[in-house]
Amino acid sequence: MKWSRAFILLVFFFLVSTRIFSAGTPVKDFTLPSATDGRLLHLADFSGKVVLINFWRTSCSDSRRESPKLVDLYRKHHDKGLEIFGVSDDTFDSVAQIPAYLKQYGITWPIGLNDQGEFMRELRPADMGGTPANFIVSRSGDVTALGKDLNEETWKKVEAAVVHALSEPPPAHPIISQRELTVAPPFSLSDLQGKTVKMANFAGKPLVVNFFTSNSCDWTGAVISKLHRDYASRGLQVVGVDLFDSDDAIRQCTGKYGAKYVVLRGDQATQMAWIGENKGWATFFITPDGRVLKKIADSIEKGIEDPVFTKYVEYLVKK
């Protein structure tokens, strides 16, 4: 399909006047659980393609305005190498609406759930604001934040960015590699009975390690206990590591949710080795060979830890 002279001039105008095509930064792979099935979605799956990462949510009126335009953009340019990777920012009170939303707008590209992991830590700028927002990943593996899509002018920038990125020739070899999983740090901590428990004690089986305090206990206490109840028979091991509370406070926290898994007394060395900073909550999903599949160190109000954590555990127990 030939582009009109007017559209080419529009692309040039945005190249010159908005500078949105200044060199991006090399993108890193990230993983999200699929919103529609049991897959884990990797940005690296689209290596060599132009990828529009679309950050959206079902309850956002601007996302609803943008979705038909995205569908049309995808229809026009998918055969030329455009992929769209949707990242849903829905919370627990709206996440169940995702399938109906996708059906309503005819969205067929992959949708991942925002797990508050490396996508939020490494890619999305803290000052970007809400939804919808877009990022363009070039065929050569550079990512540029296009910002928040609020009106027709900002949408034209998105369209121009896609056309410009598609003009780049495909690379000879895949550019974006799947993120290499790091080995989980060791630990040697005592349980509430004074028995020493080591990371090596859990080798060979999938593991969830949840760091918490009496202040963050309620964030995922119910979810972690439910995972243990539902998946222990399938080999899942769960370890809670309390950071610096008294034994009474620890028992009050774990007793609230009927926790039956191993609970350890944490220390600063373990906190820093695992979390890397002075945070009082984090959850890690560890493969049977001892590697960190996912680190989630932030939780939000109305978070979706229940479906997100369950999808990661399902993946681990099937390995």
3-class state of residue 115 by DSSP: coil
pLDDT value of residue 24:
75
CATH topology of domain 188-318: Glutaredoxin (3.40.30)
**pLDDT value of position 54:** 98
SS (H, E, C) 146-178: EEECCCHHHHHHHHHHHHHHHCCCCCCCCCCCC
What average pLDDT values come out for the chain (319 residues) when binned by 10 residues? 44 40 77 97 95 98 97 98 98 97 98 97 82 95 92 94 95 88 98 97 97 96 98 98 96 95 98 97 98 97 97 95
Domain parsing of the chain, residue ranges? 5-166, 188-318
Residue pair 231/317 in contact (Cβ under 8 Å)? The answer is yes
| The pLDDT value given to residue 88 | 98
For the entire predicted model, the pTM comes to 0.90
Burial string for 184-223 (b: 16+ CB within 10 Å, else e) reads: bbebebeeeeeeebebeebeeebbbbbbbbbebbebbbbb
5-166 matches 188-318 in fold: yes
Q: What is the pLDDT of residue 144?
A: 95
Query: How many CB atoms within 10 Å of residue 13?
Result: 12
pLDDT of residue 124: 87
Helix (H, G, I), strand (E, B) or coil at 35: coil
> Position of tokens 């049991």?
38
The pLDDT of residue 130 is: 87
pLDDT at 20: 39
- In this prediction, residue 319 carries a pLDDT of 78
- pLDDT of 15 reads 42
- Give the dihedral of Cα atoms 240, 241, 242, 244; nearest 10 deg: 170
Q: What is the CATH code of the structural domain delimited by 5-166?
A: 3.40.30.10
Residue 171 pLDDT = 85
Peptide bond into 132 cis (omega under 30): yes
